[in-house]
Structures are given as structure tokens and as C-alpha cells.
Chains A and B, each alone.
Chain A
Amino acid sequence: MTSLIYLIRKSIKNNLKELLHKPGKLILYLLLVAMIGGLAFFSNNVQPLPENLAPMFIFRGILFAFITLFVALTIMKSLSSGDVIFGMNDVNFLFVSPISSRKILLYGMMRMTRNSFYASFFILFQSSSLANFGIDFGGIILILAGFMLAMIVMSILSLIIYNLTNSSPKRKRAVKIIAILVYVPLVIYLAVSFFQTNDPIEALYQAIHSPFSSFIPIAGWVTVGVISLLSGEVVTGLLFLGLTLLVGIGLLIFLLLSKTDYYEDALVSTESDFEKRRAIAEGNINSIQSQTTKKKVKIAGTGIGGTGVTALFHKHVREVFRQNRFGFLSFASVMISGGGILAIYLIKDVTAVLQILMWVQIMLIGTGRGLQETYIHYIYLIPESSFQKIIWSNMELIIRVLMETVITFVVGGLLIGAPIFIVLASIIVYTMFSLMLIGINYLFMRYTGADISVGLLITFYYLAVIIIIAPGLVAAIIAGTMIGGMVGTVVGLLILGAWELVAGLICFALSRGVLDYCDMPVMKKA
């Protein structure tokens, strides 16, 4: 055990030492701490009036859906390779050492707790959204703790599932069936409630508060535990969270007692994770795309159209139609449009959903094939102008964004009977915003080198987006407020859209020749 404590102590010490040698990283951490502190202050002091609070059942539903998503992902992972509890260095050094495998597993759990904290970190930044439900910073910490607990228990379960189902298709099928069966009563209850009430929101409310959701392992337990504690029902809260914790401890004991030789299982997941990370660090885009693509791909049509620079677009068309069931629309597109339509229906406000989708787009814009193309050398070597290569390599993304935005706002707008001009203006703002984001990405590529850290790059990128859009946003708000009413909203949105177009074009102009004068980026770890 002394060696494991030494390992942990030294790792912490060296990480701290590294901060002193990398002031950029230190500043970033300090900024993060300051931001969290600021958010904590505001969320504790600036709360909406009780009559303006959003219904708590919506948050309960979101939390339940979110944990369910993670549970589903973990189960899918555990049926293929198991969750990653150890690093490759642990496998190489600890697994072959004379340290007890039980102690090593406990050490793995400590690593897992740390990783769960990192994965749950984003919750700390949700204070402004959570304030709408009357949740202060203490509540956010509680949500973070509940989410971490769910993730840790799922990691242990993942290892056990892999352990038990490895090389047994029947058992794998059984796990899938059990995972689905657990949710079937909830779905039936939701359907029955809908037919009885004929009101989807009432049906959702009833389903979320029913025992069919509360007693769903992990997702239901943690949700009820957290929500109960937030509502002051301490006994119920502790009961459900305690149940989750007990199950976690029980699973850990099962793992320790039933099969201490878990090395082989852990090795598979660690090695595959290590290989992916290494390939990503070496810029092998294959490894990233392979994770997001179907395993079996039917090759119907073949061939690439176009000549010269247009071949890039035709190549992307061939790729997207082979990769996605809905052509230009990816799985993420379906999720965005579906989520967007549902949000418009629930919130009854197109512009509020537009704001949310714009935030999401900042993160998703990098998934476009044009930007991913810059990680492979071919686009740099094609003997055509840099500008034309950028235009044609991003055509697929522009078409995709247009399709997503038209589907989301037209369908959402029709459902709530939103004015046509608001819908059209929202489509323009979202599309132009995406164009501006592409421009900002190339601008960053043009003026930052391959040696900039990912953390700094992301921070600067977010700051740049905020700074660049700010003038247009201010002008839109002023114009919208001065004119007032629906006309004011439409004019404000059009001003914002026009500014995004101008800002985007300026970014493209400033990043002129980017593919001739930049460092080819590599997919680095944070």
C-alpha cells in the first residue's frame, strides 16, 4: 500500500510543480476558480422571484434523462470493452508488481472518483440555468455529488458487466434486454397518462413523479435522492442516495470477492482507450471517426464526383451518405432538431431556444467535415487556392446547418403557432452564427501555432466568440427594445444576423491563405 500512496502523493506533487512551470495553465485554473466563485456568489444572491421560477419537474426530468443517457452509454461501453478505470501506466507498472490486486482496485476507484469529478465539472457552470429552478450554489454542489456518485457506481457496474458478459453473446443480449425492460413500465405509464389526459406536459409530469421512474436503478434513485434533498425532504433524499451508495459498495465487494483476477478485463478497456488516445494525439482522424461511425457499413454506390476543389465537397457527400441514415443529417442533427422542437414546444418561446442552440453550436461546429479535414494533410497539398478549399470543404456543414435550423424552427414554430417572421429571423441568426463560428475557427488556426495548449485554445475561443458577437448583440438588444413588440424582436434578430455575417466575412478575410500558412493541427489531449 505504501507504494500506491507514494504514487498518489508524487503525482499530486508533480502536477502542482508543473503548474509553476506552466503559468498559462495556472492562470487558466485560477480563472476557473474565480469563475466558479463568481457564479457561486451570483447564484446565491441573485435568484428570480418565486412567481418567475420554472417548474421543478422539468429539472427533475432533465436530470433523470441526463443520468439515463450516461447509464445507457456506460452499458453500451461495458458490452464492448468495459469502462476505463486504469491508465496504461498502471497496467504496465502496477499489474505486474507484487501489490495485492484488491489494493490496486481500490487505487483504481480513487482514480475513477477523480475522473468522475472532471467529467461532472460542467455542472458547476450551470448556475444561471439552474437559478431558474430556484437552485442555489449549495444545490449545484449537491447535484454534482449525486452525478459523481451515479458515475462511480456505473463504472463498477460496467466492469462487472464486462466481466460477466465477455465472450458470451447470450449474456450480452440478456443485459441489453434487462436494461430496456427496466424502462418499459415507465414508457407504458407515460403512454397511458397521455391517452388519459390528452396533455403531453401533464403526462410527462405524472410519469416523472411516478414510482416507475423513481425506482429505476441508478438514474431514478439518484434523481429522487437529489431532488428530495433540494426540496428539503432529507429522509427520502438520504434513503435514495444511500441506496445507490450501498449498491455501489455491494458491487465493489462482489468484484473483490468473486473474481480478483480482473486484470484481463481491465486490460482490454485500458489498451483500447490508450490506442485511441495515442492515435488521436498523432492526428489519426480515423480513430475519432471510427468511434462515431456504424460498425457495419453497406457500400451501395461508389465513386467521387467533381473536379479540382469541388472534389472535396463530393467526397464529403459520399462520406455523409455512407455514414448517416439521413444523409446530411447526422445523429447529432436529429438530437439537436428533436431536442430543439421539444424545447420550443415546452418553453413556448422560439428565441429562448435559439439562444440555447447557439451555445450548443459553439461546441458542435468543430464536428463539421471541413474543419476535421484540416487534421489530415491532403487538403493542404491539393493544388488549389486556400480560400476555395475552405469554401468547398465547409459546404457540407453549411447544408447540414441549414437543414437542422429549418427543421427545428419551422416545425417548432408551427407547433406553437409562432409568427413566421420570428421563425425566419431565427433561421437567419442561427445559420449566420454558424458561418461566423467557422470563420473564427480558421482565424484561430491562422494565428495560433501547433504548440498552444488545448485548454488555453478553448478558453480564448470562447472569449473570442463572446467579444466578436458582442457589438451585434448590443445593437440588436437596443434596436429591439426601442422598437418593442414582435417587430422589435424581428428587427433585433435581423441586426444580429447581419452582424454575424459581417463578422464572419471579416474573420475569413483575416484568415486568408490559412491552409498555406498555418501549423497543421494535431488532436491533442487537454
Chain B
Amino acid sequence: MIIVNDLTKRYNKLLANDHISLTVNSGELTVLLGPNGAGKSTLIKSICGLLRFKGSVTINGFDNHTADAKRILGYVPEMPALYPMLTVAEHLEFIAKAYRLEHWQEYADQLLTRFDLKDKVNKLGKELSKGMQQKVSVCCAVLPRPKVLIFDEPLVGLDPHGIREIKALIASLKQEGCALIVSTHMIDSVEEDWDTTCIMKSGKIAALCHRSSLGSGKTLEDTYFSIVEQEDQEVPK
């Protein structure tokens, strides 16, 4: 469970996140939507403890800066950042060793098979395409079996197989009780599984929609455009 309480992040004069409060329960998928520069990536990085901010973030009750919180948190960044001199297999081994995981090899093998990486295990990070790097990045984030997973634009640069597998992975993690945040511009990619949608604009939450409160026949895309492009229109309840 993720609880964001009154989070404010400022870059010099720019107010990137303005008093944001948000709760994501276990087994729930929250989608972050918003135009470029709305503050989605800043919010995600703050939740992951990669930025300083005002306010508080707890992960299953632990402050997000603590080792207890980090042990159950997974993060897939927008730009996959691999180590150029490590092979794909060594990336997973490094994560397993650093997180002190036990009996991880079988799960690692499953992930590599799932993302078509079995024949790339001995390839170096620098030899992989951006899409391949993204797949390895996802495998590294999922390997410690986190209870909270945060994806920042996970589908960018992926091939159709990769997109399908990540969508399936997100659905299965949700089933297993993971609290998930996914930031994306591809609204239709999360249409099936979303529970809550947080639409951000100018560093604020412009609207928080729950699937149950969405009007019949209305899609997530309709809701998004009704809020982002027609500011004065009432948010569906």
C-alpha cells in the first residue's frame, strides 16, 4: 500500500508537484495520466525516494527512505539504465545478491523466458537495443517480488510482444496483491485493468477517478480529454 501525503516538490521556481495526496491499496492499479510536464515523473521519483520533497510517503507503513520500504518497492524508470559492462544474467544476479534474495534463479529464468531474453543472457548491457534494455529493467524491478511496483512509461520503445507481456505482467501482479502505479500516455494500454486514475495537470491532481464511478459507456480516454481539454467541465463522480 502506498500513501502519499501532501507531497510538494519544487525545482527552483518551478512547482513540479503541488500538495499531492494519494493512496494506492494492495491489489490496486493506479494510472497516472497527464500532459507532458504535468509532474508525473517527478511524483514517481519522489515516491521512490530519488528526490527530496516536502510531505511524506509510506510504503506498507514504512517511510519510503527506509530499507524496509526499499525491500518491497520495485521501480521501472522511463529511460532504462543498465550497466554497460554487465551481461543480462549478471544484472539479475546483481539484484538478487544486493537484495539478499534466495532461490531466485527459477523466477529469473521465468522472467527471461517471458520477455524473450533467454538467448540474450550473455549480452552486455551496452549491446542491447532500447526495447531490450527496457525488458531487462522490468525483470530487475520484478525479481525481488516487490509488494509495490511503480512503472514510468513502461511501454515506450517496446515491440508488440513486449507490450503484451508487460500488460499481462501488470495484470498478474495486481492479481497477486501488488499495489501498482503506472504512468503512461497510452491510455488504451491500461483500459482493462485500471482501478483508479489520477489525472495530473500543472503539478496538481486535476481529477481522481475510480472505475466504479465512471459513467456507463464512457472510456478512460473520454474522461481524460474531458478533464485536460475542458477544464471547467465537471469531473465524473
Which A residues form the contact surface with B (CB < 8 A)? 279, 282-286, 289-290, 293, 297, 299, 302-309, 311-312, 314-315, 318-319, 322-323, 375-378, 380-385, 449-451, 513, 516-520
Contact = CB atoms under 8 A, between A and B. Distances in A.
Given A289-B126, A377-B50, A383-B67, A520 B45 contact: yes
A346 to B, nearest CB: 36
Interface of B: 11-12, 14, 45, 48-52, 65, 67-68, 70-71, 73, 75, 77, 79, 81-87, 89-90, 93-95, 97-100, 122, 124-126, 133, 140
A302 B85 contact: no
Given A303-B90, A311-B98, A516 B65 contact: yes
Given A303-B90, A306-B97, A312-B98, A286 B84 contact: yes
Closest 7 CB pairs of A and B: A311-B97, A319-B85, A383-B67, A516-B65, A383-B70, A383-B71, A520-B50
Nearest to A314: B97
Given A307-B97, A517-B65, A518-B52, A283 B124 contact: no
B122 A299 contact: yes
A382 B126 contact: no
Tell me whether chain A's interface is mostly helix, strand or loop, or mixed.
Answer: loop
Contacts of A375: 81
A221 B124 CA distance: 44
B100 A307 contact: yes
Contacts of A286: 81-84, 125-126, 133
A318 B85 contact: yes
A382 B69 CA distance: 10
B160 to A, nearest CB: 24
B90 A304 contact: yes
Contacts of B70: 380-383
Given A302-B87, A319-B86, A297 B98 contact: no
A384 B77 CA distance: 20
Nearest to A312: B98
Contacts of A312: 98
B94 A299 contact: no
A299 B81 contact: no
B84 A290 contact: yes
9 contacts: A285-B81, A293-B84, A299-B87, A311-B98, A319-B83, A380-B49, A385-B67, A451-B11, A519-B51
Given A315-B83, A516-B49, A302 B90 contact: yes
A378 B85 CA distance: 15
